[in-house]
Amino acid sequence: MLTVVNDQQYEFLEMLGVNSGDIVKYNDQKVYEAKEWLLPTPVGRITGATRDSLSNVRNALGVKTLPESERNLIIYCSRDVEDERRVANEPLLLAMLEDYIPDDMELIVFRRGWSARDTIKLFERASVIIGPHGAGLTNSLFSAPGTTLIEFLYLHNPPMMFWHMSSVLDIEYWMIPIPQGHWQQKELNVPFDEIKSIFKRVMQSRSGLISDPRQICEEGEEYQIDVDECRPCPQGS
């Protein structure tokens, strides 16, 4: 018995060799018995799986590591059709991102509804993945080492699974803190200046204009706001 909730998950299971006839959708009003249970390796609280486990999933799904010349997509993971963590003024944010994207790169807005195969092919071509904390960022699993992930993360009991996954998959991770944000918040007011600063430097690094997008700040000035200026972290972060 397996628990699935949408068509994409059925498709992933088929790609892993699970026969659709063997799938029983879970009903919490029933009692189930089984001769054998297969459970995933326990991990820390909503932190993430091991490097080997994630690599095994990539291999089992046939994920390809494309050459850098073919990874030309900036993928924005939108939550504008979801109930929580929608980004306020998202059209303005997307317009700002467009201003800093080189001509040889393309901005794609990703929402739920893509097939599993098309999702894998899309994120294989990612150069940068950006967006609020949510399931869409999980697809960075299909991206190549060296991809950049920029997450807008609420700071009320924040889950760190994308930081963890980035670390074990050699993805460059940036966090945009939302000090007053929380998991069930309907809309997140994201700091445009900080996003612009980080995204601009990431694009400059991708274009070879700077060698390292990460700015080294003096002690007590660890939060970057402008390209050439470091300031203290905002209250609550």
Question: Per residue in 61-86, pLDDT tens?
Answer: 999 999 999 999 999 999 999 999 99
pLDDT band of residue 23 (cuts 50, 70, 90) is confident
- List 126's β-bridge partners, or say none: 73
Q: Which amino acid is at 229?
A: E
Question: Per residue in 104-125, pLDDT tens?
Answer: 999 999 999 999 999 999 999 9
202: left (phi over 0), alpha (psi -120 to 50) or beta: alpha
Confidence (pTM):
0.86
The β-bridge relationship of strands 148-154 and 223-226 is unpaired
Average pLDDT, the chain: 86
**Residue 148: enclosing H or E segment and its boundaries?**
strand 148-154
Q: What percent of the chain has pLDDT over 70?
A: 84
Contact 101, 107 (CB under 8 A): yes
Q: Which pLDDT does position 227 carry in this prediction? A: 46
**Residue 122: enclosing H or E segment and its boundaries?**
helix 116-124
**In 4-55, at which residue ranges do the beta strands (DSSP E only) sit?**
none
| For residue 45, pLDDT beyond 70 | no
Q: Which pLDDT does position 223 carry in this prediction? A: 54
Q: Which pLDDT does position 44 carry in this prediction? A: 65
**Which of 11-20, 22-31, 122-131, 157-166 is predicted most confidently?**
122-131
Q: Which pLDDT does position 237 carry in this prediction? A: 46
Comparing 209 with 94, the larger pLDDT belongs to 94
| For residue 215, pLDDT beyond 80 | no
Residue with tokens 């050699």: 170
Q: Which pLDDT does position 216 carry in this prediction? A: 52
Contact 165, 145 (CB under 8 A): no
Question: Per residue in 150-200, pLDDT tens?
Answer: 999 999 888 999 999 999 999 999 999 998 888 899 999 999 988 998 899
Q: What percent of the chain has pLDDT over 90?
A: 56
How far is C-alpha 218 from the chain's CA centre? 29
Q: Which amino acid is at 44?
A: G
Contact 87, 152 (CB under 8 A): yes
Contact 58, 142 (CB under 8 A): yes
Comparing 226 with 129, the larger pLDDT belongs to 129
Q: How far apart are CA 183 and CA 79, in angstroms?
A: 13
